[in-house]
Structure 1
Amino acid sequence: MKALLLYPKFPQSFWSYDRFMEIAGLKAVLPPLGIITVAALLPQDWEIRFCDRNVNPETDADWEWCDLVILSAMLVQKPDFHALIQKAVHFGKKVAVGGPYPTSVPQDALDFGANYLILDEGELTVPLFLEALNQGQTQGIFRSIEKPDVTISPIPRFDLLKRDAYLMMAMQFSRGCPFNCEFCDIISLYGRKPRTKEPSQSLAELQTLYDLGWRGSLFIVDDNFIGNQRNVKRFLRELIPWMQQHDYPFTFITEASVNLAEDDELLELMHEAGFYGVFLGIETPDQDSLEVTRKLQNTRSSLVESCHKINEAGMLIYAGFILGFDGERSGAGERIQAFVEQTNIPQPMLGILQALPNTALWNRLKAEQRLFDSINHPTGDQNTLMNFVPTRPIAEIAKEYVEGFWTMYEPANYLRRSFEQCLRIGSLKGRKQTMQFPLGKGLGLVAQVIWHQGLRRSEIRWQFWQQLWTILRHKPQVLNMYLGLCAAGEHFWEYRALARERITQQLGYDPLKVLVLPEKDVMLAKF
């Protein structure tokens, strides 16, 4: 069998770091871990070609060569995913699809002409698909209610990647999350019982990347790395000596719940292992909204103090925030801005709440008949208006979103937060670097940052140089981190304009240009 594995394009988004990628000479932030794991599950006698369309588009010769096309996609990749299915049908190729998007909404893939749907988790469903192929079946849907033991998951085919095109490599330690947030689709896709790989298994993946020559940052893509705290500590205790023996070839970043701040031992182990950053799902500082959305783990301790403690443990904080929860009080956007100022989180991801398919939120809103037509309403982008009827005016939520994003990513504000966060980062003992760039990319990136922010941008020129000088004098260990954040600013300063434009298109007017009249003037204006 000749199989062409394709990963669809991402639209420009918060996480695409387009301008950063351009000035760094890179193509994409992360490789698609799911589809290269599927590649490892395919028979060894198959011929495989893989193209991440965000890095290297496939050719007409690839389409002519293959017998079978295999696609994997997330919801945000919907447009290119659909186009690729249609192209496969046009060329008369059988097409098999999988990943989070088809698993959540399988009918979409069927409607566009997919032959095989390999849903849920591939360790259990890829063998079912292969058996059907051997029996000559020309179509099928392969599902599993059971969740696989991830200790049987193979080492992903990292060798298929154009590794020098990515900012980071990726690996997975666990699947699932023990919490029950109403809006989250992770528990519907992967369950509430975190399943982890064995430490030796994860070290074998790291050794594979090491042997392939990768040096730099690694994103551990778990949706909650600390979901199983006992097993993650087992892994970290074996990771630390491996890192020491290999002279710290990698630094790590991951996603975790805020209760990370409650476990001093876990913070220390992550620090010693080389973790330089963590993404936290903070969502909102409003306790009542956290309770409504069942994010109770964020209500147990002060969120500001938790952030400070994680900083002091040596980690940079990335964080997600959401507007549009049921019962949300006016001014939620301003309260998020105030929280970001208190914590100096450089890159707050502010989004508008979306009801994702098959989540508890989706099911509740569907029962309440508050969902919009999912076919005509885009879902999955951070700057798309909600796909349901909210409890406060959409225009008000949209205005707070655009104002918040515009203000937080004003260049001087962004640079100041990046600077303050770097200064707050705690002890970096035993660590060579806090953030690593791919080999051969660092010097070019630094030169671009100096050109754009130290020379070209007059509004932040002196701020940049003053902050850089302070970092060099007082905390040179975080220089890479600071310059990396500065470079990312080039992306966000363009993206905030795009986010504003997208919301303006959906509303029919620019929310930042609307005059908000006092109530008595509104009454007069009606006449």
Structure 2
Amino acid sequence: MRTLLIYPEFPKTFWSYEKILELVNRKVLLPPLGMVTVAALLPQHWEMKLVDRNVREVTEAEWDWAELVVISGMIVQKTDMAVQIARAKQRGLPVAVGGPFASSTPDAPELELADFKVLDEGEITLPMFIEAIERGESGGRFSANGDKPDVTGTPIPRFDLLELDAYDSMSVQFSRGCPFQCEFCDIIVLYGRKPRTKTPEQLVAELQCLYDLGWRRAIFLVDDNFIGNKRNAKLLLPAIKEWQIERGYPFSFTTEASVDLASDDEMMRMMAEARFEAVFLGIETPDEASLSVAGKHQNTRSSLEESVDRITSYGIRVMAGFIIGFDGEKTGAGDRIVRFVSRTGIPAAMMGMLQALPNTGLWHRLEKEGRLIQEKADAKGVNQTNLLNFVPTRPIRDIANEYVDAFCRLYEPNAYIDRVTHYYANKVGAPRWKAFFKPEKSDKPALPPMTDVKALATVLWRQGFKRNTRFRFWRSLARVARRNPASFEQYVVTLAHNEHFQEYRAVVTREIQEQLACLPPEPPSTPAAPTRELQPV
């Protein structure tokens, strides 16, 4: 079976990083891990080709070669999913769809032309699909019916199908699921509340596979909560550390975790020694009442600011997500987020307006209250620049304007330099993995790649000479070089990220303004939407 796997295109997002990727001659931040995992679960005697539409177009030769098309993606990719399904059907090719979007909304109009719908986790449903293909069936829907697979049997993803040079970072997965019950999150809907993990041997084998393919850059551990199963995470980390030491620390790691990471010094130490350089936290909001309403109680058990500082002290850079638009939210939520980010110094603070994702607790509650307006959601699907897809408890224009104002303030060039400099000069601890690093002996020191040299020169020119940040930029470089030389390289890379945020500020402003212009004028007085009483935490 000649199988063409297609990964649909993403719209511009906070994480698309186009301007940064241009500097280092890469096209995409991360590869489609789900697609290469599907490829590993399909019969290995099938011929396979993979096209990531974020890297390049599907060629006519590839369409002509294919006997079966497999497409997977997230809600934000649904528009291009529909386009690729239609192109395949125009050529008379059978199409199988799967992934988070298909699993959460299998009857979505974008998927109506697909022949096969392979839902939920592929370890369970792909064998059903393969059996149907072998029986000669021309269509079908395959569901796990609530069952969750044991991921210790998941094979090594087919990383060899990727155009590795196109990606800035690589993706691997250790666990699926999260033990918490945040009302707005669809992770527990898709993967359950009992985190399932691979074995340390499995994960190390995946790292070795990438190493053998020549990969020597960053790796993103895509777990939705890496510490969801703390016991197994602590079994994994020593194995990664040992593997790293034996090979001279070829990889740096980034992952996602819950804020309670800050209460586990052993976990943070082990992560730092394995060379985990950054972690993404879902902080959401500094407003405890909103966190309580959203069911994110784990974020109310200790000071969020102190939690960020504790993680940072281990040399692990904190990235964070923030949401505006919770029920009962008070005016000024955007300003409170800006103040929180400024105090903690978090360099990458993602912001978005609350979205009710299909089948989440939030979705069902709003549907019951008659407040969902999903049919008015932007055609691109859920994105950081979408207005809320439900009737909020305060005027939607107020929420949208606060969001745009807050985002633009966070990434104003001078403010960004000040925040990042404060973070690295005063808070970031020394990289602990370097205590175990033993460089190979060489007569000549290794020179940085020419692409890195060009990227550095571009950042120095734009921020150090061309813009009005020039004086602040050079003073800040000198300050961090003096105060925290061990983290200086990471600091410069973090400064470079604002090349992307500068452009994305304009994207946020334009897209929100366009959506607001399409809203009907608000009447002089409207009845308040149902509110939930906010209880003190």
TM-score of the two chains, using structure 2 as the length reference: 0.92
Q: Identify if the C-alpha distance between structure 1 residues 111 and 169 changes in structure 2 by more than 3 Å, giving closer, same or farther.
A: closer
> C-alpha separation between the residues in 1 aligned to 2:377 and 2:479?
51
1:284-323 → structure 2 map (5 Å cutoff) = 284-323=285-324
Change (3 A) 1:37 1:295: same
Once residues 433 and 219 of structure 1 are traced to their aligned partners in structure 2, the CA distance between those partners, rounded to angstroms, is 21
Q: What residue in structure 2 maps to residue 213 of structure 1?
A: 214
CA distance in 1 between partners of 2:377 and 2:254 (Å): 36
Q: Identify if the C-alpha distance between structure 1 residues 109 and 239 changes in structure 2 by more than 3 Å, giving closer, same or farther.
A: farther
1:482 aligns with 491
CA distance in 2, matches of 1:23, 1:303: 34
Could you tell me whether the CA contact under 8 Å between 2:430 and 2:486 is conserved in 1? no
Q: Aligned residue for 2:34?
A: 34
RMSD (Å), alpha carbons: 1.8
Amino acid across the alignment from 1:419: T
User: Identity of counterpart residues, as a percentage?
Assistant: 51
Aligned residues of 1:102 and 1:109 also touching (Cα < 8 A): no
Rounded to whole Å, the distance in 2 between the matches of 1:426 and 1:165 is 32
Q: Which moved more, 1:371-380 or 1:47-56?
A: 371-380
Tell me the equivalent position of 2:501: 492
* Alpha-carbon separation, structure 2, partners of 1:430 and 1:385: 42
Return the offset for 1:376. Answer: 5.2
Q: In structure 2, the residue corresponding to 1:77 is in which secondary structure?
A: helix
Report the more deviating stretch, 370-379 or 489-498: 370-379
Conserved 8 A contact 1:215-1:438: no
CA–CA distance in 2 between the matches of 1:442 and 1:255?
27
Return the alpha-carbon distance in structure 1 between the equivalents of residues 431 and 151 of structure 2.
33
Unaligned runs of 5+ in 1: 511-527
Aligned equivalent of 1:142: 142
Q: Provide the C-alpha distance between the structure 2 equivalents of 1:178 and 1:291, rounded to a whole number of angstroms.
A: 17
* Structure-1 residue corresponding to 2:532: none
Structure 2 CA distance for aligned equivalents of residues 453 and 373 of structure 1: 42
Judge conservation of contact 2:314–2:432 (CA < 8 Å) in 1. Answer: no
In the alignment, is residue 343 of structure 1 matched against residue 341 of structure 2?
no
CA contact (8 A) 1:402 1:499 kept: yes
Aligned partners of 1:129 and 1:509: how far apart in 2? 43
> Do 2:430 and 2:487's aligned partners in 1 also have CA atoms closer than 8 Å?
no
In the alignment, is residue 198 of structure 1 matched against residue 207 of structure 2?
Answer: no
Q: Is the 8 A contact 1:354 1:386 kept in 2?
A: yes
Quick one: which of 483, 507, 522 aligns to 2:516? 507
Q: Secondary structure at the match of 2:486?
A: helix
Query: Which letter maps to 1:418?
Result: V
Residue 392 in structure 1 maps to residue 394 in structure 2? yes
* 1:222 aligns to 2:223 (yes or no): yes
Paired letter, 2:430: S
Contact preservation (8 Å) 1:20, 1:491: yes
Alpha-carbon distance in structure 2 between the residues aligned to 1:433 and 1:391: 53
CA distance in structure 1 between the aligned counterparts of 2:25 and 2:518, rounded to whole angstroms: 36
> Structure 1 residue 350: deviation in Å?
0.9
Other structure's SS at 1:345 match: coil
Report the counterpart of residue 427 of structure 1 in structure 2.
430
**Which residue of structure 1 aligns with residue 526 of structure 2?**
none
Equivalent position of 2:122 in the other structure: 122
Q: Secondary structure at the match of 2:228?
A: coil
Aligned equivalents of 1:376, 1:211: Cα separation in 2:
44
Q: Select 2:470's aligned residue among 446, 461, 465.
A: 461
> 1:258 and 2:259 equivalent?
yes
**Cα distance in 1 for residues equivalent to 2:364 and 2:377:** 19
Which one is further off, 35-44 or 415-424?
A: 415-424
Q: Could you say which residue in structure 2 is the equivalent of 1:402?
A: 404
- Amino acid paired to 2:473: F
1:57 corresponds in structure 2 to 57
Pair 2,432 (structure 1): closer, same or farther in 2 beyond 3 Å? farther
Q: Is the 8 A contact 1:96 1:114 kept in 2?
A: yes
Displacement of 1:270 after TM fit?
A: 0.4
CA distance in 2, matches of 1:220, 1:111: 29
Q: Which amino acid aligns with 1:46?
A: W
Partner AA of 1:39 in structure 2: A
Find the aligned partners of 1:433 and 1:455 in 2 and give their Cα distance.
38
Change (3 A) 1:15 1:192: same
- 1:216–1:438 contact (8 Å) kept in structure 2: no
Equivalent residue of 2:12, what SS?
coil
Q: Which whole-Å CA distance do the structure 2 matches of 1:57 and 1:419 have between them? A: 40
Q: State the alpha-carbon separation in 1 of the partners of residues 319 and 119 from structure 2.
A: 31
What is the rounded CA distance, in whole Å, between the counterparts of 2:422 and 2:77 in structure 1? 35
Distance 1:318 1:377 in 2: 27
Q: Does the CA-based 8 Å contact 2:171-2:219 persist in structure 1? A: yes
Kept in 2, the 8 Å contact 1:167–1:438? The answer is no
Give 1:242 shift.
1.1
Q: Say yes or no: does 1:85 pair with 2:85.
A: yes
Q: CA deviation at 1:147?
A: 0.4
Could you say which residue in structure 2 is the equivalent of 1:131? 131
Structure 2 counterpart SS, 1:16: coil
* Contact kept? 2:464, 2:473, Cα under 8 Å: yes
Q: Deviations over 1:356-375 (max 9, x none)?
A: 00100000100111000436
Q: Secondary structure at the match of 1:277?
A: strand
Q: Any gaps of 5 or more consecutive residues in structure 2?
A: 438-446, 520-537
Per the TM alignment, residue 443 of structure 1 is displaced from its structure 2 partner at its CA by 2.0
